[in-house]
Every structure is written in structure tokens, then in C-alpha cells.
Structure 1
């Protein structure tokens, strides 16, 4: 593992993060095949993982498979209702000889369907939605040795939050609420459970899953990677650790008037006329991030700011009018905004990373989300997913499916394509003997430092170390 030469012997602590002390870490977590193998035992079986959403399984018998490394998991709806009591998760394996019950083709992003029972294609052993074995061919041949315990499916812990379904391979451990901690407390105000898919896409990408997800954990890259956006706004940011999880948000290089007055991902742009710059920034972001990270209602309301406000309107007045106008427009079409206290909105920032691999960029009525997972045993590949959520009038949400899409501008939009253009070359570059270890920005990229600090704790490997 390459290490930067100017490091101390001190592993970074929570206090070091709070003090924004500079650190470095090597490349083993990204490049080592042994490390990727170790993740199968030390990471993935020891955390709550977001497997999908409740809207993926709206009817009794609906299921999807969630695969990570060598594990395949069936997540299904066993009963009516929105709570976790209606959801079951089982390992996708027959109790007889280990054949998968649901065939998951290599190179796929899981399988979806509806079933009242699961039948093993090898010998016909059959299981109901509670994982109970309901049929064994020639059961008498075992002379009474078979019991319900040894013939049922192996169940995993499953829980729900914000419309997401999480699974945990541990038989015992902290609850999902405890795992999410302050991140869950803060983000619950955004009511993700009332949002629905706007679009969802995935690809097999040539970089480690950590390389890929980290590209979306900080806005520090925006000035260079997405330089077209700098015509409309500054993208200086802070980042902050919340235990396993972390947040980033808009910041100022010097203290001056706060421009983020309209919401966690809303602010005025550059220019002397905030009525115009607010609309231009919102429109540019929306149209180049695959029509996500905002809504049609917000863009339409921003387009009217110049007509509805005087030239003397301040940034604060523009932001307040924009949000109030959009809120009224949404209410008229049956979309009611959640009531988020100002102190929560301030703490919520711009975007969250939920350890180990879930990113959420949240707004009052929308969210843009990313996830990356290992692809087989290859540390140089991953499954990368992005999807947009939005709050719709009852029954008016679009019908969507997971779409496999090549990582191009045509398929993903300009901004995401620019990110894809970086990720594979970051991964390749880390293989160079000339790379001495990462030097993440301790103010703007603390989310990444915190992720590696926590990853090292799970993996039992060297944590980021302080620079001298």
C-alpha cells in the first residue's frame, strides 16, 4: 500500500475531524483483491444495507433480489401495510442443497417479480412468503429427521425508513434507528416515504465501488469537473461527520450574507440581480443533472421571479418569495410540503452519505440518490446506481423500471457524464507508483475522511493518518 511520506503515527480521531486536521490514506481499500475479499466478512455482513424501496414491492407477493458480493437476498412483501412487519428478507438459497431459488443472471441488477411461493428448480422444495417449507419430495425418506427449523429459509433482519428497505445479516445488533442515528433524525423530516421514483438507472462501471461513490460525496470537484456551473454560482462547501454518516452543505470562503435561505439545496446564484441568477442556477442544475435535484414546480416558480419582484429585492426576499410561490403551486396540484423546522433545514445541509454506500442529496419535495456495490470479486469494477425521487399528487407518479444505461451524456445528462469521465481515471491513477496516498480537503472532503475512518474500524486495517 502506497503511503504519503509526510505522515505522523497518529490515526485520525473524531476530534481531529472536528479540528479539520489534514490526513492521508493509501490505496489498499480500492485496489487490493485481498481487501475486497475481506469486505465479504468484515463489512457487508456487519452493517444495515439499503436494499431497495417499498414502492418496489407494493403488492403482497412482490419481491426483488438484492445482491452484494457472494450473497443474494430475497426481499418481499408478505402482508399489506407500509411498516416493517409487512416485509421479509431471506437468503436466496434452498435449504436442501443450496441452489438459488431465484436465478440471478451474472451482470444483472437483480430480479423482480411476484410469487405466492418459491419453488427450487432442482428438486422442487417449496417455501411460502414466511419462508416456511411447504413441500418436500419424498419427505419420508428422511425418517423424521427433518424439522421446520432445518428446512425453512434463513431469515435476515429487515426494517424500513423513509420508504427505503434495509437488511442486516447479523442475527443481533443495533436497530436501524440506532444505526442511522442523527442522520435518520434529521432526514426523517423530509418524508422520503412520500416520494416516488422519477427515474432510475444503473451501469457496470470500471472502478472500485468506493472510488465511484466518493465522486458524489463532495462538491469540491464542481469548480473543475462541472466548470460550466461556475458561471452561475460558487460551490464552496463544508462537510461534517455524524458518527458513521456525514453531511456536506453550502459554505462561504469569508463571512458574508448567507445566500442559502430557501432550503437545503436552494440558493441564489452569481450576479447583481438575484431574481435572474436564482432562476439561471436552478434551471442549469435541473436540466444538466438529468432533470433531478429540483422539480418542474420549483423551476417554473423561479422563472417568474423577475416578473413578480422589484429590482430592489434582496437575496433573502427572492429566496423567500420563490419558496412560498412554489409551495402554493404544489399545494394547488395536491403536493403538500413537509413542515421542516428552520434549525433542521440548516443542519440538513446539501447531501448525506449513509455508511457504507448510500448517498442522498435532499430537497423538500425531491431527492437525488446514489449507491455503489462490488461487482463480483473484481476490485476494479462496481455496480453503480442513481435514481431521482419526487413527491407527486396521489396516483400521478410515473411508472418506472430500472434501466441499464451506458455512462454517457445522452443517457445520464451532462453533469453525471462528467463525473463518470473522472471516476475510472481516478481508479487507474491510484495504481501508479507515483501516487503517494490521498490528500483529502479536511474542510470540504471530511465526508470521505470519515468514511475511511469508519471503514478501517470495520476492516481492522490502517485508518487515515495525520499529516505532519
Structure 2
């Protein structure tokens, strides 16, 4: 397909050693400018469509000084409106709920679900100076993809499917629109929204920050890609699944590679469930626990993994969960972690996804609203009832252990960025190229702050 937006293909790693200016993380002026130059121009996730299942259901989405009402106003239609009374500017909604109409608590002006005004107190006082068009709720661009409802404050923005290229055509194979919430939590975090996202748009940190996940085997290396506005990454090779890494060199020996493959995979899946509450499902955990009974000792690692996926897929089919059929070539290139610019991260599989969203908490560059959630395939009618759970303390054990390990880095990074002894970040040119790509894209919107190439030293 033709590329609808200018590409930002990541150059070969040896050509991408860069420095990242720290202004984007700490400057109050920069944070202010983001409102107009970034958040006023980009497509951003407002909610999942399942949050507004019935006509009259609405969600309020706030970004900086803007507030948007997302409402299902017909069985097959979701629209968005500016959340502001056209009389004296009182906001009409907060949070989420159900309404037959929107009524201003100040003077009682009313609008139907299509945004048309239906009542003005003492309208006759205005004579002929008040038109229905003038007092309709202003519409906001609103489109859907992947089960999410997206908004864009720019009336001239490109269509969502163009904006999301090449992410959408790749991730469409995974059936994200068929998945529903399994859990969802949020908190206010003392760091810039970009610091929060960058804790999750690369996996280079995993072997150090998450020692428990490396206990039964680890990935030796990661590749990164960037194209259009978005970036993604994936594993070069999991140790034990061929033991070859970048450039066909022997993979380094990582913890856990000595454990017999059937047991290692069972232990890994259980660890994911216990410490991430994501990256696997109960069906896969149960199927992995049977590997030692279903396969003989000495079965090659690749065959163990393939058997696990076949059995889990069959088990799910029995209970009415049908995995997405993803072509082999897509599986090879899709990676496992997509950063959709500017502020959504998706770790996708054929049955579930772990997702993150971060956005500014007002104009303070040292604070952000951070959300984590899991969506999953469920049998029809058996989707769990969930709500957004505010868990303000990041050390609270309601946050999965692995996320708490990530969280402990984030405020310390924000503090370190303010040090007079730190001027620029130095992302790994190979395994953190997603971070560099993010800042290159960000600089296109902001007009400054592009990564600074590092000249090779003699």
C-alpha cells in the first residue's frame, strides 16, 4: 500500500547513535506547548467501545484543558462532543454514566445525545439572536479501531486508518476488537508522561529490572522498527529455542536455559500469571502444566512450544474462545510491543493484550495519569464486569509485581533528569531505537528536540 504519512524508517543501528535533549521531560514551557502542537493534533484513545455498550452510555475524556464527551447515541454509532455548556461554559459531565440527555447543572440548558440543543431557560429573552446551530455542542472527530474509540481535536486531521499505518494493518490480524477488559487500573504518577511510556516501549530493561522473569530463560536480544508515526519491537531469539542471536552468533547463556524445556515453559507461564497477570491466559497456564505428562523428556524446545499452543488453542475452542489466525509472516514481523504515537502501548497476542496509556496530569511536567489494563478473548456472554480501579500507591500489591518493578524506576528517572549532572539521554542504538524514534516523531510536532546524532569517535 502507499504510505499515507511521511515515513520515519529507523536507520541501521550503527547509524542511529543519538542523544536525546531532556527539555521534553522537564520543561514547563515545553509542556504548555504540547497542548497546542501535540495533543491538539493527534489521534488519541479516549476509551474502549465496550465502555459505552448501550445508547445513552457516555465516558468523559480529559486531556489538559480539553474535556470530551464520548457517547453512544445510536446502536451502531459513537460520537464525541466538547464537554462545555454553550451558555456560560460549565462542564456538563464528569466520569462515566448513562443519560437520555445532557443537562447543565448551572442554568438547565439541555442537549440531546446528538448534541442538538433542546431547551434554553427563558429563550424568549434572546429574541431572534439565538440559533440552534450556534448553541449545538461542538463535535469532535471520533473514529474507532481495534475496539478503541479515538478522538482528534483537529478537524483537518487525516482519517484514523491513515494515521495508524502501518500499525493497524498489522495488528488487525490479532483481533483486538474482539477482546474485552479482564482488569484495568490507574494512578497519578510523579513523572512526565513520556518517562512513563518509555518504561514500556522497549524491552532492553527486562533482564535487569525484572530478574524474576529471567529465572527460567530470557531473550538474548531485541530488534526495533519505526515507520510512519509509530514504532515496535520484538525478540531476536528466545534462549533455548534455537540459541542463535543477532547475526547468527551463539546466544549468550541466560538464567534458566539449563531447565528442561517442558518444565521451563510451565514455570514461565505460571510466573507470567502470578507476577504480571498478563502475557498469558489461564488456558495457556493450564495447558503448560500438562506438558510433562503429554510430551516425553528430551522433546526439543521448539516442539514443546508448538504443542503448548496447539493444546491451548484447542482447549479454548471447546469453551467458545476462537484464536485469531495470524499468518506466519505477520507473526515474524509484528513483534510483541507496539507504541502507537503518542501515548498508547499494546503488547499483543492472538488471545489477549497488555496495554498502557499515559497522558499529562494538567500542565505539570512532573506528573502524569497512567493506566494499565489487559484485554482478552472470552466466550460470548462471559466477559467479566470491570471498572477502572484507582490504585494511587504504586507499591500496593494490587499492582502486579512486574509493574511495580517498572514503577520503581519512573520517579527516579524524573528526579535524575533534573540533575545538573545530566544533559542528554543516550538510548541504546539497537535495542532502544523505539525510544529514539518516538522523540524523532515528537520533534516533528513540537518543532524542536530532535535526537542529536553522535559522531563516531576515532
TM-score normalized by structure 2?
A: 0.92
1:156 equivalent among 123, 132, 140? 140
Q: What is the alpha-carbon distance in structure 1 between the residues aligned to residue 319 and residue 395 of structure 2?
A: 34
Decide whether aligned partners of structure 1 residues 55 and 258 sit closer, same or farther in structure 2, where only a CA change above 3 A counts.
farther
Which residue is 2:180 aligned to?
A: 196
Structure 1 residue 409: Cα displacement:
4.8
Structure 1 residue 231: Cα displacement:
1.5
Q: What is the alpha-carbon distance in structure 1 between the residues aligned to residue 241 and residue 316 of structure 2?
A: 32
Report whether the alignment pairs 1:94 with 2:85: yes
Q: What is the alpha-carbon distance in structure 1 between the residues aligned to residue 395 and residue 376 of structure 2?
A: 23
Q: What is the alpha-carbon distance in structure 1 between the residues aligned to residue 451 and residue 238 of structure 2?
A: 26
1:321 equivalent among 298, 303, 307? 307
CA contact (8 A) 2:170 2:330 kept: yes
Which residue is 2:3 aligned to?
A: none
Q: SS at the partner of 1:246?
A: strand
The one-character-per-residue Cα deviations of 1:186-206 (angstroms, maximum 9, x if unpaired) are: 001111111111010000110
The one-character-per-residue Cα deviations of 1:263-318 (angstroms, maximum 9, x if unpaired) are: xxxxx9623521111111221122101x2111000111111111111123112211
CA contact (8 A) 1:269 1:281 kept: no
2:100 equivalent among 104, 116, 119? 116
Which residue is 1:107 aligned to?
A: none
Runs of 4 or more consecutive aligned structure 1 residues displaced over 6 Å after TM superposition: 253-256
Which residue is 2:4 aligned to?
A: none
Structure 1 residue 178: Cα displacement:
0.2
CA contact (8 A) 1:209 1:382 kept: yes
Structure 1 residue 436: Cα displacement:
2.5
Report whether the alignment pairs 1:71 with 2:66: yes
Q: What is the alpha-carbon distance in structure 2 between the residues aligned to residue 135 and residue 444 of structure 1?
A: 58
The one-character-per-residue Cα deviations of 1:109-128 (angstroms, maximum 9, x if unpaired) are: xx010001001111111000
Q: What is the alpha-carbon distance in structure 1 between the residues aligned to residue 263 and residue 238 of structure 2?
A: 23
CA contact (8 A) 2:217 2:239 kept: no
Which residue is 1:425 aligned to?
A: 412
Q: SS at the partner of 2:214?
A: helix
Which residue is 1:51 aligned to?
A: 46
Structure 1 residue 407: Cα displacement:
0.9
Q: SS at the partner of 2:196?
A: helix
Decide whether aligned partners of structure 1 residues 13 and 114 sit closer, same or farther in structure 2, where only a CA change above 3 A counts.
closer
Q: Structure 1: give runs of 5+ residues left out of the alignment.
A: 1-11, 105-110, 261-267
Which residue is 2:205 aligned to?
A: 221
Out of 237-246 and 51-60, give the one that drifted further.
237-246
Decide whether aligned partners of structure 1 residues 255 and 439 sit closer, same or farther in structure 2, where only a CA change above 3 A counts.
farther
The one-character-per-residue Cα deviations of 1:252-272 (angstroms, maximum 9, x if unpaired) are: 499982799xxxxxxx96235
CA contact (8 A) 1:203 1:404 kept: yes
Q: SS at the partner of 1:298?
A: helix
Summarize the alignment of residues 17-32 of structure 1 with structure 2, pairs less than 5 Å apart: 20-32=15-27
Q: How many residues align?
A: 438
Q: What is the alpha-carbon distance in structure 1 between the residues aligned to residue 92 and residue 336 of structure 2?
A: 41
Q: What is the alpha-carbon distance in structure 2 between the residues aligned to residue 184 and residue 152 of structure 1?
A: 33
Q: SS at the partner of 1:372?
A: strand
Structure 1 residue 432: Cα displacement:
0.4
Q: SS at the partner of 2:21?
A: coil
Q: Structure 2: give runs of 5+ residues left out of the alignment.
A: 1-6, 246-254
Structure 1 residue 233: Cα displacement:
1.7
The one-character-per-residue Cα deviations of 1:142-173 (angstroms, maximum 9, x if unpaired) are: 22111122110000111111110000111122
Decide whether aligned partners of structure 1 residues 244 and 97 sit closer, same or farther in structure 2, where only a CA change above 3 A counts.
same
Taking only aligned residues, the RMSD between alpha carbons, in angstroms, comes to 2.0
1:183 equivalent among 143, 167, 186? 167
2:294 equivalent among 302, 308, 318? 308
Q: What is the alpha-carbon distance in structure 2 between the residues aligned to residue 443 and residue 255 of structure 1?
A: 22
Summarize the alignment of residues 190-339 of structure 1 with structure 2, pairs less than 5 Å apart: 190-235=174-219, 236-252=221-237, 257=242, 270-289=257-276, 291-339=277-325
Q: What is the alpha-carbon distance in structure 1 between the residues aligned to residue 147 and residue 448 of structure 2?
A: 34
Report whether the alignment pairs 1:80 with 2:48: no
Decide whether aligned partners of structure 1 residues 371 and 25 sit closer, same or farther in structure 2, where only a CA change above 3 A counts.
same
1:408 equivalent among 395, 400, 423? 395
Decide whether aligned partners of structure 1 residues 230 and 255 sit closer, same or farther in structure 2, where only a CA change above 3 A counts.
closer
Report whether the alignment pairs 1:349 with 2:335: yes
Q: SS at the partner of 2:296?
A: coil
